[in-house]
Amino acid sequence: MKQYLFASAIALSTALPAAAEFSFGDEDMQGYVESNLLSVFYHELGHALIDIQGLPIFGQEEDAADVLSVFLIDAFWEEESAVQIAYDSAFGFQAEADAYEPVFWDTHGPDLQRYYNLICVFYGANIDEREDVAEELGLPEERAEWCDTEYDQAAGSWGAALDDITVESGGNTIKMGRVETDTDGAQVTANLISEEVQALNEEFKLPSTLKVNVESCGEANAWYDPEVREITMCTEFADDIAENAPW
Protein backbone atom coordinates (compact mmCIF):
# COMPACT_ATOMS: atom_id res chain seq x y z
CA MET A 1 0.00 0.00 0.00
CA LYS A 2 1.34 3.44 -0.86
CA GLN A 3 2.12 6.01 1.81
CA TYR A 4 -0.61 8.63 1.95
CA LEU A 5 0.44 12.10 3.02
CA PHE A 6 -2.62 13.98 4.18
CA ALA A 7 -2.38 17.43 5.77
CA SER A 8 -0.53 17.36 9.06
CA ALA A 9 -2.47 17.34 12.30
CA ILE A 10 -1.01 20.72 13.20
CA ALA A 11 -2.11 22.25 9.92
CA LEU A 12 -5.55 20.69 10.27
CA SER A 13 -5.99 22.08 13.76
CA THR A 14 -5.05 25.61 12.78
CA ALA A 15 -7.30 25.44 9.71
CA LEU A 16 -10.47 24.84 11.71
CA PRO A 17 -12.82 27.81 11.24
CA ALA A 18 -14.18 27.54 14.78
CA ALA A 19 -10.83 27.12 16.54
CA ALA A 20 -11.09 30.53 18.20
CA GLU A 21 -14.45 29.56 19.73
CA PHE A 22 -13.25 26.21 21.00
CA SER A 23 -13.64 26.32 24.77
CA PHE A 24 -11.98 23.08 25.90
CA GLY A 25 -8.70 24.76 26.73
CA ASP A 26 -5.39 25.49 25.10
CA GLU A 27 -3.92 24.27 21.81
CA ASP A 28 -2.66 21.06 23.39
CA MET A 29 -6.17 20.21 24.58
CA GLN A 30 -7.66 20.89 21.17
CA GLY A 31 -5.04 18.66 19.53
CA TYR A 32 -5.71 15.93 22.07
CA VAL A 33 -9.46 16.03 21.41
CA GLU A 34 -8.95 16.02 17.64
CA SER A 35 -6.54 13.08 17.79
CA ASN A 36 -9.00 10.99 19.77
CA LEU A 37 -11.90 11.91 17.51
CA LEU A 38 -9.84 10.83 14.50
CA SER A 39 -8.93 7.55 16.16
CA VAL A 40 -12.59 6.85 16.91
CA PHE A 41 -13.65 7.83 13.39
CA TYR A 42 -11.07 5.48 11.84
CA HIS A 43 -12.34 2.71 14.13
CA GLU A 44 -15.91 3.21 12.94
CA LEU A 45 -14.66 3.37 9.36
CA GLY A 46 -13.21 -0.07 9.98
CA HIS A 47 -16.67 -1.41 10.83
CA ALA A 48 -18.05 0.25 7.71
CA LEU A 49 -15.41 -1.27 5.44
CA ILE A 50 -15.91 -4.72 6.95
CA ASP A 51 -19.60 -4.46 6.10
CA ILE A 52 -19.44 -2.72 2.73
CA GLN A 53 -16.57 -4.80 1.36
CA GLY A 54 -17.75 -8.03 2.93
CA LEU A 55 -14.39 -8.59 4.59
CA PRO A 56 -13.82 -11.83 6.52
CA ILE A 57 -13.02 -11.34 10.19
CA PHE A 58 -11.35 -14.02 12.28
CA GLY A 59 -11.85 -12.97 15.89
CA GLN A 60 -13.56 -9.94 17.41
CA GLU A 61 -14.62 -7.30 14.90
CA GLU A 62 -13.88 -4.58 17.47
CA ASP A 63 -10.25 -5.69 17.58
CA ALA A 64 -10.04 -5.58 13.79
CA ALA A 65 -11.49 -2.05 13.76
CA ASP A 66 -8.95 -0.96 16.39
CA VAL A 67 -6.13 -2.32 14.23
CA LEU A 68 -7.39 -0.39 11.19
CA SER A 69 -7.46 2.80 13.23
CA VAL A 70 -3.78 2.44 14.10
CA PHE A 71 -2.94 1.33 10.56
CA LEU A 72 -4.54 4.47 9.12
CA ILE A 73 -2.81 6.75 11.60
CA ASP A 74 0.49 5.34 10.38
CA ALA A 75 -0.45 5.31 6.69
CA PHE A 76 -2.23 8.66 6.35
CA TRP A 77 -0.12 11.02 8.42
CA GLU A 78 3.42 12.32 8.24
CA GLU A 79 5.66 10.99 10.99
CA GLU A 80 5.52 13.87 13.47
CA SER A 81 1.74 14.10 13.27
CA ALA A 82 1.28 10.32 13.35
CA VAL A 83 3.35 10.05 16.53
CA GLN A 84 1.35 12.83 18.20
CA ILE A 85 -1.97 11.23 17.24
CA ALA A 86 -0.75 7.86 18.52
CA TYR A 87 0.33 9.36 21.85
CA ASP A 88 -2.95 11.24 22.27
CA SER A 89 -5.03 8.20 21.34
CA ALA A 90 -3.09 5.99 23.73
CA PHE A 91 -3.60 8.53 26.51
CA GLY A 92 -7.29 8.52 25.59
CA PHE A 93 -7.50 4.79 26.33
CA GLN A 94 -5.55 5.36 29.55
CA ALA A 95 -8.00 8.10 30.56
CA GLU A 96 -10.97 5.83 29.83
CA ALA A 97 -9.38 3.09 31.93
CA ASP A 98 -8.91 5.53 34.82
CA ALA A 99 -12.43 6.97 34.55
CA TYR A 100 -14.50 3.81 34.09
CA GLU A 101 -14.56 0.27 35.41
CA PRO A 102 -13.86 -2.33 32.70
CA VAL A 103 -16.94 -4.08 31.28
CA PHE A 104 -15.74 -7.57 30.48
CA TRP A 105 -18.91 -8.70 28.71
CA ASP A 106 -18.59 -5.91 26.15
CA THR A 107 -17.42 -6.67 22.61
CA HIS A 108 -14.70 -4.03 23.01
CA GLY A 109 -11.58 -5.15 24.83
CA PRO A 110 -10.61 -3.54 28.15
CA ASP A 111 -9.21 -0.04 27.61
CA LEU A 112 -5.77 -0.91 28.95
CA GLN A 113 -5.51 -3.80 26.52
CA ARG A 114 -6.52 -1.49 23.69
CA TYR A 115 -3.85 0.93 24.92
CA TYR A 116 -1.10 -1.67 24.54
CA ASN A 117 -2.47 -2.99 21.26
CA LEU A 118 -2.38 0.52 19.79
CA ILE A 119 1.19 1.10 20.90
CA CYS A 120 2.36 -2.27 19.63
CA VAL A 121 0.90 -1.99 16.12
CA PHE A 122 2.08 1.61 15.77
CA TYR A 123 5.56 0.76 16.98
CA GLY A 124 5.67 -2.32 14.76
CA ALA A 125 5.05 -0.17 11.69
CA ASN A 126 8.42 1.54 12.13
CA ILE A 127 10.48 -0.11 14.84
CA ASP A 128 13.69 1.65 13.81
CA GLU A 129 12.24 5.13 14.40
CA ARG A 130 9.69 4.51 17.17
CA GLU A 131 11.58 2.68 19.86
CA ASP A 132 11.33 5.75 22.07
CA VAL A 133 7.54 5.74 21.62
CA ALA A 134 7.31 2.16 22.84
CA GLU A 135 9.60 2.87 25.79
CA GLU A 136 7.91 6.10 26.87
CA LEU A 137 4.46 4.55 26.72
CA GLY A 138 5.57 1.53 28.74
CA LEU A 139 5.29 -1.28 26.20
CA PRO A 140 6.90 -4.35 27.83
CA GLU A 141 9.83 -5.92 25.96
CA GLU A 142 8.00 -9.25 25.94
CA ARG A 143 5.31 -7.69 23.74
CA ALA A 144 7.55 -5.31 21.80
CA GLU A 145 9.60 -8.08 20.21
CA TRP A 146 6.52 -9.29 18.31
CA CYS A 147 5.12 -5.93 17.23
CA ASP A 148 6.68 -5.88 13.77
CA THR A 149 4.92 -9.21 13.13
CA GLU A 150 1.64 -7.78 14.40
CA TYR A 151 1.99 -4.83 12.04
CA ASP A 152 2.82 -7.14 9.13
CA GLN A 153 -0.39 -9.04 9.84
CA ALA A 154 -2.32 -5.75 9.77
CA ALA A 155 -0.66 -4.72 6.52
CA GLY A 156 -1.40 -8.08 4.95
CA SER A 157 -5.10 -7.85 5.76
CA TRP A 158 -6.12 -4.20 5.96
CA GLY A 159 -3.53 -3.10 3.41
CA ALA A 160 -5.02 -5.42 0.82
CA ALA A 161 -8.56 -4.29 1.66
CA LEU A 162 -7.61 -0.63 1.24
CA ASP A 163 -5.79 -1.34 -2.01
CA ASP A 164 -9.10 -2.67 -3.38
CA ILE A 165 -10.78 0.73 -2.91
CA THR A 166 -7.82 2.99 -3.76
CA VAL A 167 -8.19 4.77 -7.10
CA GLU A 168 -6.03 7.49 -8.63
CA SER A 169 -9.01 9.70 -9.40
CA GLY A 170 -10.55 9.26 -5.96
CA GLY A 171 -14.29 9.11 -5.52
CA ASN A 172 -17.31 10.68 -3.90
CA THR A 173 -18.72 7.68 -2.07
CA ILE A 174 -18.21 8.96 1.49
CA LYS A 175 -20.65 11.77 2.17
CA MET A 176 -21.51 13.97 5.11
CA GLY A 177 -25.07 13.35 6.28
CA ARG A 178 -26.74 15.04 9.24
CA VAL A 179 -24.48 17.67 10.80
CA GLU A 180 -25.05 19.69 13.98
CA THR A 181 -22.81 22.60 14.97
CA ASP A 182 -24.73 24.15 17.86
CA THR A 183 -21.99 23.68 20.47
CA ASP A 184 -18.22 24.15 20.47
CA GLY A 185 -17.67 20.40 20.61
CA ALA A 186 -20.12 19.82 17.78
CA GLN A 187 -18.46 22.50 15.63
CA VAL A 188 -14.99 21.07 16.16
CA THR A 189 -16.19 17.54 15.46
CA ALA A 190 -18.02 18.61 12.30
CA ASN A 191 -15.05 20.58 10.96
CA LEU A 192 -12.61 17.80 11.67
CA ILE A 193 -14.70 14.96 10.26
CA SER A 194 -15.70 16.98 7.19
CA GLU A 195 -12.03 17.58 6.40
CA GLU A 196 -11.30 13.89 6.86
CA VAL A 197 -14.18 12.78 4.64
CA GLN A 198 -12.88 15.06 1.90
CA ALA A 199 -9.39 13.60 2.26
CA LEU A 200 -10.68 10.02 2.19
CA ASN A 201 -12.61 10.72 -1.00
CA GLU A 202 -9.42 11.91 -2.65
CA GLU A 203 -7.98 8.41 -2.24
CA PHE A 204 -10.83 5.90 -1.97
CA LYS A 205 -13.89 4.85 -3.91
CA LEU A 206 -16.20 2.50 -2.01
CA PRO A 207 -18.52 -0.06 -3.65
CA SER A 208 -21.50 1.81 -2.16
CA THR A 209 -22.19 5.13 -0.46
CA LEU A 210 -21.23 5.64 3.18
CA LYS A 211 -22.76 8.55 5.09
CA VAL A 212 -21.19 10.19 8.13
CA ASN A 213 -23.37 12.04 10.65
CA VAL A 214 -22.27 14.47 13.35
CA GLU A 215 -25.17 14.95 15.73
CA SER A 216 -26.28 14.96 19.34
CA CYS A 217 -27.02 11.48 20.68
CA GLY A 218 -27.58 12.15 24.37
CA GLU A 219 -24.36 10.29 25.16
CA ALA A 220 -20.65 10.29 24.33
CA ASN A 221 -20.59 7.61 21.66
CA ALA A 222 -19.97 6.72 18.03
CA TRP A 223 -21.13 3.81 15.92
CA TYR A 224 -21.63 2.35 12.46
CA ASP A 225 -25.13 1.24 11.47
CA PRO A 226 -24.97 -1.47 8.77
CA GLU A 227 -28.71 -1.24 8.01
CA VAL A 228 -28.37 2.29 6.62
CA ARG A 229 -24.59 2.32 6.12
CA GLU A 230 -23.99 5.38 8.26
CA ILE A 231 -21.33 6.34 10.77
CA THR A 232 -22.58 8.56 13.60
CA MET A 233 -20.15 10.68 15.59
CA CYS A 234 -21.96 12.01 18.64
CA THR A 235 -21.26 15.66 19.39
CA GLU A 236 -21.02 14.83 23.11
CA PHE A 237 -17.87 12.81 22.46
CA ALA A 238 -15.61 15.87 22.18
CA ASP A 239 -16.73 17.15 25.57
CA ASP A 240 -16.22 13.73 27.15
CA ILE A 241 -12.70 13.43 25.73
CA ALA A 242 -11.82 16.88 27.07
CA GLU A 243 -13.33 16.25 30.50
CA ASN A 244 -11.40 12.99 30.90
CA ALA A 245 -8.10 14.33 29.54
CA PRO A 246 -5.18 13.13 31.71
CA TRP A 247 -4.12 16.61 32.87
User: Per-domain residue ranges for the chain?
Assistant: 24-243
Q: What is the rounded distance in angstroms from the CA atom of residue 84 to the CA atom of residue 69?
A: 14
The CA distance from 220 to 9, in Å, is 23
Over residues 115-127, the mean pLDDT reads 98
Q: pLDDT tier at 26 (50, 70, 90 boundaries)?
A: confident
58-103 tens-digit pLDDT: 888 999 999 999 999 999 999 999 999 999 999 999 988 877 777 6
Confidence of residue 23 (pLDDT cuts 50, 70, 90): low
% of the chain with per-residue pLDDT over 90: 77
pLDDT value, residue 247: 76
What per-residue confidence (pLDDT) applies to 109? 65
Residue 5 CA to residue 16 CA, distance in Å, equals: 19
Rounded-to-integer distance, Cα 119 and Cα 87, Å = 8
Phi and psi, residue 173, nearest 5°: -95, -10
Q: Please give the helix or strand (H or E) that residue 223 lies within, else none.
A: strand 222-225
Q: Which amino acid would we find at residue 208? A: S
**What gap in Å lies between CA 28 and CA 153, rounded to an integer?**
33
Residue pair 161/54 in contact (Cβ under 8 Å)? The answer is: no
What is the spatial distance between Cα 25 and Cα 201, in angstroms, rounded to a whole number? Answer: 31
35 vs 196: CA distance, rounded Å: 12
CA distance 1 to 93: 28
Burial of 218 (0-12, 13-18, 19+ CB in 10 A): exposed
Residue 91 host element (H or E)? helix 79-99
Asked if residue 216 lies in contact with residue 236, where contact means CB atoms within 8 angstroms, the answer is: yes
